[in-house]
Structure 1
Amino acid sequence: MLKPPINRMGGKSKLRKTIINMLPDHVCYVELFFGAGWVYFGKDPAKVEVINDIDKELINLFRMIKYHAPEIKRMLQYEFSDRDIFEEYKNYSLENLTEINRAVRFLYLITQSFGSKCGNYGYGTNAVPKQQIFHTETLNDLKERLKNTYVENLSFEKIIDKYDREYTCFFADPPYFETAGYGNEFGEKEHLLLRDKLSNIEGKFILTINDNLQVREWYKDFNLKEVEVNYSVSRNEKARGKYKELIITNY
């Protein structure tokens, strides 16, 4: 069971064992909203696997780890935690960077920012700065895990159309409904499109989402499992605590 190279808002670190234990038998495994990839990096590899996300920089990172892990490892050995470096990376013009440079930049920003949001430099009054940007010795393991995986950067509906078979298992962890903080617009229209696409697949799906009355109505014809998750990454102490989520399946 590998640890992902990054954290991501809404990541499934606390739920991945539950989700993995609920996965049905499958030949093809597809993650529609990859994020940090907690479930993918925790499960046993399937014959065919697909990771997809609409975030180009995130997908570029995993693609570069898959194909150029040694060079990323070489470049990271010179990096250290520093506010000025963080701001410089944040303001880089991406068109002037190679794909490998973009991957290192993204990895630096997401590991050195508060809440892994790439926005503000992360610091503390009761913790020392990180001595390493990333534990590069794990890159080879990540590269090996990604070796036989298709890495896609498409909309979720296109991925469903391309990979849906009776032996396919889709894992969907979309931005939560009516919850702020996600970079991409994902409102009721997108949630309904996802529901409609998943309702008509030949394969199986498992979906995680916040427990919401509207969501319960949308998926009332499927199997709903209630779970509680403790979230602690927030500047606002009131925002921390246990929250109810749903795991929804069509099997």
Structure 2
Amino acid sequence: MVGEGSAKRAIAYRTMTSAKPGATGIFWLSGFMSDMGSTKAMAVAEWATARGLGATRFDYSGHGVSGGAFAEGTIGRWLEEANAVFTQVTSGPQVIIGSSMGGHIALLLVRKLLRDQVSEAQRIKGLVLIAPAWDMTEELMWKRFGDDVRRTILERGCYEQPSAYGSPYPITRGLIEDGRKHLLAREPFDPEMPVVILQGLLDPDVPADHTRELTRFLTGDRVKLIEIPDGEHRLSRPQDLALLFDAVGALV
């Protein structure tokens, strides 16, 4: 359980312990509207198991089999859940993989741990970010919306966003306003660990220029960007997964 009072919600997770004492585990952070049963999440778990490594994945509230309503979800709530699962479920060294919004959550989690729980941050050997949707609610939602959509969100509290991947999903005023409390805001940030980024150049959801901008304000000289000319947003093809596993394997 995460949260208190009316904000208390049950968070579902799956974890596998390493067959090798002291081996690095994998911590998976899903994207917006995705869950721990997605193609990439399952492939990562299988890859880790085949190598005797631990792996942990979970569903944000309002996603998959976790409790809570999706419309009540915010970046702050999902960050709180990621922090709880990481600190309470995982142990030993970890590599964090964040996909799309999960990439944003991963960076926020590292920033929070470096500030509040340095010993927990020191367990992270590196980040692998897949099309990281940094500052998603502001840069990829609010700034892209037309005046009519913004007005709907402000006046009605919710806009039903059409999706290329299924049914429309709600973008709430709470999501936008809370997101402004959790921005990287282009401020120089040193994660103090290696960061590998995979980005498809045909991605319409997280454009390549958005990811390139991230590399300009992440400091520490340990950031590597791998651009995939024919890659789209999901990057779940066999060749995409091969690149992902090469990146994770190098950090492990």
Shorter-chain TM-score tier: 0.3 to 0.5
Max radius of gyration: which structure?
1
Higher RCO structure, 1 or 2 (CA under 8 Å, sep 6+)? 1
Q: TM-score, normalised by structure 1?
A: 0.34
